[in-house]
Amino acid sequence: MKSPTFSIRYSVIALLLFFASQMMAQQTLIKVIDNETSDPCIYTNVVLSGLDGLFIDAGATNENGEITFDLNKNARICVSFVGYKTYIDTITPGENISIRLQSDFINMEAVVVTGQYQPKAVDKSIYKIDVIDGKTMQERGVNNLAEALSNETSIRLSVDPATGTSIIMQGMGGENIKYLIDGVPIVGRVRGNIDLSQINMENVDHIEIVHGPMSVQYGTSAIAGVINIITKKNNYFSNIVKGNSYIDSKGHYNFGLYASLIRDKHTFTVSGNRNLFQGVDIDLNADSHYEEGHNRYMEFKPKLVYNGNLEYQFKKESFQLKLKSQYMNTLVKNYGNVPKTSIAADEDYYTTRITNSLVLSDKITESISYNIIGAYTYYDRYSEEIIADLANLTKIVSDTSGTSFNNILSRGDFTYAKEGANFFVMAGWDINYDNGEGDKMEENAEMGNYAIFLNGQYSPLSNLSFQPGIRFIHNSIYDAPVAPSINLRWSILDNLGLRVSYSKGFRAPSLKELYLDFHDSNHDVRGNKDLKAETTNSYNASMDFTKQSDQYRLKFEPKFFFNDGKNVIALYTPDQSSNTTTYINLARRKTIGGELNTSFRHKSGFQIGAGFTRVGAAIDADEDGDGSREYLPMIFYNNYSFNTRYSIAKIKTTIIANLKYYGKTPSLAAIPESQGGGYYNIFVEPYGDLEITLSKNLWKSRLNVVIGGKNLLNNYIRTVSGYRDFGDPDYEEFSYGPSNYGRTYFLKMNLRFIK
C-alpha cells in the first residue's frame, strides 16, 4: 500500500502539470473570409482535432468571421460551410491565420428532415423532396407562404379575395395537402384550405415539399403531398437582433423584429410581425357603381395580420428540449356600398390561431434515438355584421357568429439505426383529438384519431435502398383504412438516380364537413355525418440526371404520378337556383401527370431554369349509386415556369426574374338535379405571372435591400368559360372574378446584428 506522503506528492505533481499545460495554451485567432468578396463568412463551422485524429474543440465564426481557441499543441483544422469548398490544414498554438474559402457552386445540396429518421442531404433522401431555400426567398422579397410557392412549376395558386390563397398539387386541392411548421400540423382550414397568405416567412430557413402521399408518416390530408416549413435556429451566437420592413404600391405595409440569445445550454428566441394590407378595388363587382352614393366595396379585402413566436431550447450533448408558442391573429374587413344614404352594412372577420408545442429528442444509445412532439392548437374564426353610420362615424354590431376548434396532438417515434449498418427501423404513434363548437356547428362535434406506424429501410447494395412502411388507424367516427407504402431509391450511376414509390393516402372528413349547420339569408350549408374517409392509391416515379464540371452544373429532373382515389369528399349544390349545399362522397377521381425541370448553373454566378407540368383529371360521380364507372373525359392542363438568376459576388448583388404561365385549367360545375344531376367541366382561361427583383447587401452584409416588381403582366381578372344554360345546352357563358390586384412594385429591407 502506498504511503500518504506518496499520494500527496503524486497529487501535487499532477496539479502542477495541469497548470503548466494551461499556461502553455495560447490563444489562436482564426478569421474566415470569402475568397471573391473578402467579406467575413459568418456561421462557418470550425473543427479542431489532434494530429492523432482525436477531437479537441469546435465552434462557429461570429459576425466578423472570427473565432478563437486556446491551443497548447499543434492541431488539424477543418473549416466547412454550405456553398464553399471544405478547407483542411494544420495550425500551431498562438498562430493567427486568415482563411479564404473558395465557393463551391456544385455541392450545394440542402439538408432535409421531412420523413427522415435523421437529417439527410436532399439528393440522398429516399423521397423526392423539392427545397425552397431561405436565401432565395430573401432575394425575391417573399412575405408569406403563398409568395414563396408561386414559382414552383408543379403548384398552381388559387386566390380567393375573401378566404385567401390556396394551392393545387398533383391535380388536387389544398384540403389534400398537409402543412407543417417544424413537423407540427397547421390547424384551421376554411373550405378545406389553409390561407397561405397568413403564414409568415421572415424567420424561415427553408421549405421542404414532398409530392405524393405521406400518410404513413403524417396521417390525414397528406394525399397530394406535404409542405414542411423549417424555421431558423440559433445554434451558435450569443446575441442576434434582426428587423425587416416591406412596402409596395398596392398598400402593403409590413414590419417585424427578431431577437435570440444563447446563455450556456439555454437559447431564448422571440419574434413578431405586423402585416397590413389596405385593400384594392378593381371595380369588378356588379353593384359597385351607383348614380348616388359611394362605392366602398373592395374585391381584395383590407387585412391586418399579427404573427408572434416565443421559443426556448435546452441542449446538452444529444438531448434537446424545445418549447414553442406561436400566435396568429387576422382581421379581414368587408366594406359595404352606400347607395343613397350614409348607412353602410359592413362585415369584420377575425381569425386567431395559437399553437403551443413541446419537442423532446435524444440518443438513448449510439443506435437508438427518439423524437417526441406534443402540441395544443386553439383556432377561432368569427364574424361581426356591422351597421356603420358614415356621417356620425359610429357603428353598431348587429349580429355575430363563429366557430372555434381545439386540437391535441401527441406524436413520437423511436429509431434504431446502427452506424455503418445497411438498415434502420422506426416505430411511432400519432394521436389527434379534435373538438369544435359555435353557432355554425352541431353539438358534440368531436373526433379522435389514434394511429401507430412502422417504417424500415434496407440497403442490400450501397446504391440501392428500399423503405416499406405501414400505418394502422382507429377513428372514433369513421372506418379508417390501413395505409401502406413502399419506396425505392436506386443510384444507377454516380450522376443518375431513380426513385419509385407506391403509397396509399387518406383524408379524414373534417369536423366542419361532418357537423357544419349554417343557415342565413344567403347560405344553407349542412354537414354530412355519413361521410367516408377519402382514399387514394398513388404511384410516383422520378429521375435526376446531373452533368457537371468545375465550371458548370446541368441537371434534368423528370417526374411522373398517377392517383386513383375513391370516396372523394366534395361540396355539392343539388340545385343552382337554391342556396342549399352539403358534403358528399364522389365515387372516384383519377389524376395523372408528369413534370420536367431542368437547370443550368455556371461558376460565374449565372443560373437559368425551366419547368413544364402536364396534369390530367377525371371524376366519376356515380350519381346512380350502382358502382358503375362513368368518368367524365380526362382533361389535361399545363403549367410552365422560367427563371434566371445572376449573382455578382464582387458587388454583393443578385438579379432574379421568374415567369410562371398557367394553361387553360378545368374545374367542375354541378348540373341541377331537375336536369338529371351530375357534373360537367368549366375552364379557367390561361394567364401568366412575371416577377423581377434586385437584391443588394450593404454595410458588411448587415443590411439587405430588395426592390422589384410582382405580377408585372398586370393580371387582376380571372375568366371562367363553359357555364351552361340548361334551357339551351349548346349555350356557353363566361363568368369573371378577381384573381390578383395587378402590377405591384415593392421595397423590402432586412437588417441584422450578430455577436
Residue with cell 425551366: 610
- Give bridge partners of residue 639 from the DSSP assignment: 613, 662
The Cα–Cα gap between 599 and 209 comes to 18
CATH class label, 231-754: mainly beta
Residue with cell 390525414: 220
- Per residue in 231-276, pLDDT (tens digit) is 988 887 889 999 999 999 999 999 999 999 999 999 999 999 999 9
Write down the architecture of domain 111-230 according to CATH: Beta Complex (2.170)
Strands lying side by side in the sheet with 164-169: 155-160, 164-169, 172-173
Give Dmax (Cα) for the chain: 114
Which pLDDT does position 628 carry in this prediction?
53
Better-predicted residue by pLDDT, 601 or 39: 601
Q: How confident is the model at residue 513 (pLDDT cuts 50, 70, 90)?
A: confident
Contacting residues for 398 by C-beta, under 8 A, at least 6 apart = 385, 386, 387
C-alpha cell at 414: 423511436
- Per residue in 167-225, pLDDT (tens digit) is 889 988 888 899 999 988 998 877 778 888 888 888 899 999 998 888 888 888 888 89
Helix or strand holding residue 80 (H, E): strand 75-80
C-alpha cell at 104: 463551391
- Per residue in 45-92, pLDDT (tens digit) is 888 888 887 888 888 888 788 888 888 888 899 998 877 888 998 888
pLDDT over threshold 60, residue 152: yes
Q: How confident is the model at residue 727 (pLDDT cuts 50, 70, 90)?
A: low
Is residue 560 within 8 Å of 540, Cβ to Cβ? yes
The Cα–Cα gap between 169 and 149 comes to 11
Nearest to residue 119, comparing CAs of 230, 17, 194, 234?
230
Between the alpha carbon of residue 134 and those of residues 139, 190, 606, 742, the distances in Å are 9, 28, 19, 26
Q: Domain spans of the chain?
A: 15-101, 111-230, 231-754
Helix or strand holding residue 750 (H, E): strand 744-754
Is residue 447 within 8 Å of 441, Cβ to Cβ? no
Residue with cell 400540423: 185
Which pLDDT does position 290 carry in this prediction?
47
- Average pLDDT value for residue range 131-135: 91
Which pLDDT does position 365 carry in this prediction?
92
Fold of 15-101: Immunoglobulin-like (2.60.40)
Q: What is the overall mean pLDDT for the chain?
A: 86
pLDDT over threshold 70, residue 523: no
Lowest mean pLDDT among 492-506, 569-583, 649-663: 569-583
- Per residue in 396-416, pLDDT (tens digit) is 999 888 889 999 999 999 999
Q: How confident is the model at residue 625 (pLDDT cuts 50, 70, 90)?
A: very low
Which pLDDT does position 286 carry in this prediction?
47
Which range, 434-443, 526-535, 560-569, 720-729, is most confident? Answer: 560-569
Nearest to residue 336, comparing CAs of 327, 326, 345?
345
Q: How confident is the model at residue 9 (pLDDT cuts 50, 70, 90)?
A: low
Contacting residues for 23 by C-beta, under 8 A, at least 6 apart = none
Which residues in 518-546 are b (16+ Cβ under 10 Å) and which e?
A: beeeeeebebbeebbbbbbebebbbbbbb
Nearest to residue 497, comparing CAs of 541, 564, 545, 458?
545
The Cα–Cα gap between 689 and 640 comes to 10
Give burial (CB, 10 Å; 0-12/13-18/19+) of 278.
middle
pLDDT over threshold 60, residue 448: yes
Q: How confident is the model at residue 586 (pLDDT cuts 50, 70, 90)?
A: confident
Better-predicted residue by pLDDT, 166 or 709: 709
Terminal Cα-to-Cα distance of the chain (whole angstroms): 55
Strands lying side by side in the sheet with 66-71: 66-71, 26-34, 97-101
- Per residue in 351-399, pLDDT (tens digit) is 999 999 999 999 999 899 999 999 999 999 989 999 988 888 888 999 8
Query: No. of H helices and E strands in the chain?
Result: 5, 45
